[in-house]
Amino acid sequence: MSWSTRALDTLAAGPPTRLIDFPVRAPGVRLLLKDESGQPTGSLRHRHARALFRQAVLDGLVTEGTTVVEATGGNAAVAQAWFARRLGLPYIVVMPGRRDQARARAVEALGGECRFVTPPLAIYDAARSIEGHFLDQFGRAAPHDSAYFPGWTLDVPDYATGMPSRIEGIGRPRVEPGFRPDLVDLVVPVPDAASVAAARHLREVTGLPVGGSSGTALWAALELVERMRARGESGTVVSLVGDAAERHLATYHDDAWAAGKGLDVAGRLTELRQRV
């Protein structure tokens, strides 16, 4: 059996993650949360990483011994390092900012190498300069992003804020090449404080210490539920739990952290509890 055949077997999809029935006060409307924290590496990025590796193997871009390179941070890097280890491939990730041992630890525990670069947008050129295959996750799929709403509404494909968001996982400073605006039917702007409040409410209901991106998705989903209730419609809304990790307890679920970011979480929590 060839290496690529064995690799594709290794990259086969796993079992589906569970659906959580989330309580809402809207007769005939059901809200389901797809819990991607149940993936082997604990986040939605696991699914994305598997697809990237599988396509690279199918295209012949990753073969036995190929060094795999990416420009990213957080959950995506952990998921990619996990797959690289299972395939026996060297893995290097270029992360934005100064070295942060907390971010590097999970990747390095899986045998990956972390390189930190400033300013944040320099990570792409730094990754391309490394010999190996650059996965380029943002060039090959549509991510969630703080620059996307203005870029989408203004029809400016290269819109950039130049700065990341305060909410991890949705803070790209620019619209990436993989974004497909023609596939977007609706964008719901969600304030940062609302994202944090919804993350805390989700934890209260499910016990999952989710991050801000899951809170963002929940807040928007609840807005859709409200619109359906107002129109007298019935149906199902599905949202995502992007990840759940103990490290989020020291940020999104911590009052001191929120105060340091200038976020009025208490006010948004009150608003949220009145809505649901």
Q: Is the sign of the CA dihedral 88, 90, 94, 98 positive or negative?
A: positive
Does residue 270 register a pLDDT over 80? yes
| Sequence letter at residue 218 | L
126: exposed, middle or buried (C-beta count within 10 Å: 0-12, 13-18, 19+)? middle
Spell out the domain ranges in the chain: 18-38+188-275, 45-183
Question: Looking at this protein, which amino acid is placed at residue 91?
Answer: Y
CATH tag, 45-183: 3.40.50.1100
Look at strands 68-71 and 133-134 and give their pairing: parallel
The CATH class that applies to domain 18-38+188-275 reads alpha beta
CA distance 218 to 237: 10
Q: Which residue has the tokens 């055949």?
A: 5
At 35-85, the pLDDT tens digits run 999 999 999 999 999 999 999 999 999 999 999 999 998 899 999 999 999
Position 156 scores a pLDDT of 47
User: For every residue of 107-119, which 3-state class applies, written as one string?
Assistant: HHHCCCEEEEECC
- Amino acid, res. 205: V
pLDDT higher than threshold 70 for residue 150: no
- One fold for 18-38+188-275 and 45-183: yes
How many Cα neighbours within 13 Å face the side chain of 161? 16
pLDDT score for 181: 81
pLDDT grade for 177, boundaries at 50, 70 and 90? confident
